[in-house]
Structure 1
Amino acid sequence: MYINNLNLTYYRNYQDLSVTFDDRVNVIIGQNAQGKTNLMEAIYVLAFTKSYRAAKDKELIQWDQNYAKIEGTVFKRQQQFPLEMQFSTKGKKAKLNHIEQQRLSDYIGALNVVMFAPEDLYLVKGIPQVRRRFIDMEIGQIQPIYIYHLTQYQKVLKQRNYLLKSLQREKSPDLTMLEVLTEQLIEHASIIIEKRFIFLKLLREWAEAIHHSISQQREELTIGYHATVEVLESDDKEKIKIAYLDLFQKNREKEIERGTTLVGPHRDDLIFYVNGRDVQTYGSQGQQRTTALALKLAEIELIKAEVGEYPILLLDDVLSELDQYRQSHLLHTIQGKVQTFVSTTSISDIQHETIQQAELFFVENGTITQQKRG
Structure 2
Amino acid sequence: MRLTRITYNNFRNYRKMTFEPNAGITLLYGSNGSGKTNILEGIHYCALTKGFTSIADSDCIFDSSDYYALQSTCLGENGSDIEVRISFSREKGKTLFVNNNEIKKFSNHVGTIPCITFSPPEISIVSGSPSERRKFIDNIICQSDKKYLKDLLTYRRVLLQRNALLAQISEKKSSINMLPYWSENLSVLAASIVFKRLEFLDKFIDNFRDLFKKLSINEEPGIVYRSVLGRYDNIRNIDELAALYYRKYDDNLRYELLRSQTSCGPHRDDLEFYINDKEIKKYASQGQLRTFLIGLKLAVYDYLFDTTHEKPICLLDDIFSELDTQRTENILSILQTLGQSIITSTVRRDSDIISSVSVHDLIND
TM-score (norm 1): 0.89
> Which SS does the other structure have where 1:178 is aligned?
helix
* Distance in structure 2 (CA, Å) of the matches to 1:192 and 1:123: 20
Q: How does 1:183-332 map to 2 (within 5 A)?
A: 183-216=184-217, 218-230=218-230, 232=232, 235-332=236-333
* Distance in structure 2 (CA, Å) of the matches to 1:29 and 1:214: 24
| Cα distance change, pair 91–161 in 1 and its aligned pair in 2 (3 A) | farther
Deviation at 1:173, TM superposition (A): 4.5
Kindly indicate whether the alpha-carbon contact (under 8 Å) linking 1:161 and 1:261 is maintained by their aligned counterparts in 2: yes
Which AA in structure 2 matches 1:76? G
| Cα distance change, pair 159–173 in 1 and its aligned pair in 2 (3 A) | closer
Kindly indicate whether the alpha-carbon contact (under 8 Å) linking 1:24 and 1:340 is maintained by their aligned counterparts in 2: yes
| Cα distance change, pair 361–185 in 1 and its aligned pair in 2 (3 A) | farther
| Cα distance change, pair 344–148 in 1 and its aligned pair in 2 (3 A) | same
Q: How does 1:21-100 map to 2 (within 5 A)?
A: 21-77=21-77, 78-89=79-90, 90-100=92-102
| Cα distance change, pair 177–10 in 1 and its aligned pair in 2 (3 A) | farther
| Cα distance change, pair 351–16 in 1 and its aligned pair in 2 (3 A) | closer
Kindly indicate whether the alpha-carbon contact (under 8 Å) linking 1:24 and 1:336 is maintained by their aligned counterparts in 2: no
Deviation at 1:344, TM superposition (A): 1.7
Gaps of 5+ in 1: 370-374
Which AA in structure 2 matches 1:291? F
1:120 is matched with which residue? 122
Which AA in structure 2 matches 1:219? E
Deviation at 1:351, TM superposition (A): 6.0
Matched, 1:107 2:109: yes
* Distance in structure 2 (CA, Å) of the matches to 1:151 and 1:66: 30
RMSD: 2.3
Deviation at 1:202, TM superposition (A): 1.6
2:169 is matched with which residue? 167
* Distance in structure 1 (CA, Å) of the matches to 2:122 and 2:323: 12
Kindly indicate whether the alpha-carbon contact (under 8 Å) linking 1:12 and 1:61 is maintained by their aligned counterparts in 2: yes
| Cα distance change, pair 19–257 in 1 and its aligned pair in 2 (3 A) | same
> Which SS does the other structure have where 1:222 is aligned?
strand
2:363 is matched with which residue? 367
Kindly indicate whether the alpha-carbon contact (under 8 Å) linking 1:54 and 1:60 is maintained by their aligned counterparts in 2: no
Deviation at 1:317, TM superposition (A): 1.4
Kindly indicate whether the alpha-carbon contact (under 8 Å) linking 1:361 and 1:368 is maintained by their aligned counterparts in 2: no
* Distance in structure 2 (CA, Å) of the matches to 1:40 and 1:359: 15
* Distance in structure 1 (CA, Å) of the matches to 2:318 and 2:153: 31
* Distance in structure 2 (CA, Å) of the matches to 1:57 and 1:87: 7
**Residue deviations 1:49-98, cap 9 Å, x none?**
11222353322233533332221101112211211222234442332221
| Cα distance change, pair 37–274 in 1 and its aligned pair in 2 (3 A) | same
1:140 is matched with which residue? 142
Which AA in structure 2 matches 1:102? K
* Distance in structure 1 (CA, Å) of the matches to 2:58 and 2:158: 25
Which stretch of the first structure deviates more once superposed, 57-66 or 128-137? 57-66
Kindly indicate whether the alpha-carbon contact (under 8 Å) linking 2:26 and 2:356 is maintained by their aligned counterparts in 1: yes
Which AA in structure 1 matches 2:49? T
* Distance in structure 1 (CA, Å) of the matches to 2:89 and 2:195: 36
* Distance in structure 2 (CA, Å) of the matches to 1:235 and 1:68: 49
Identity fraction in percent:
30
**Residue deviations 1:329-371, cap 9 Å, x none?**
1111011532111112222xx465433xx1413238x9269xx
1:354 is matched with which residue? 353
* Distance in structure 2 (CA, Å) of the matches to 1:181 and 1:64: 47
> Which SS does the other structure have where 1:266 is aligned?
coil
Kindly indicate whether the alpha-carbon contact (under 8 Å) linking 1:26 and 1:361 is maintained by their aligned counterparts in 2: no
Once superposed, which parts of structure 1, at least 4 consecutive aligned residues long, lie more than 4 Å away?
350-353
Kindly indicate whether the alpha-carbon contact (under 8 Å) linking 1:95 and 1:107 is maintained by their aligned counterparts in 2: no
| Cα distance change, pair 220–184 in 1 and its aligned pair in 2 (3 A) | same
* Distance in structure 1 (CA, Å) of the matches to 2:32 and 2:102: 35
Gaps of 5+ in 2: none
Q: Whose relative contact order is higher, 1 or 2, with alpha carbons under 8 Å and at least 6 apart? A: 2
> Which SS does the other structure have where 1:319 is aligned?
coil
1:9 is matched with which residue? 9
TM-score (norm 2): 0.91
**Residue deviations 1:262-288, cap 9 Å, x none?**
211111111112222222223333433
* Distance in structure 1 (CA, Å) of the matches to 2:87 and 2:273: 38
| Cα distance change, pair 180–157 in 1 and its aligned pair in 2 (3 A) | same
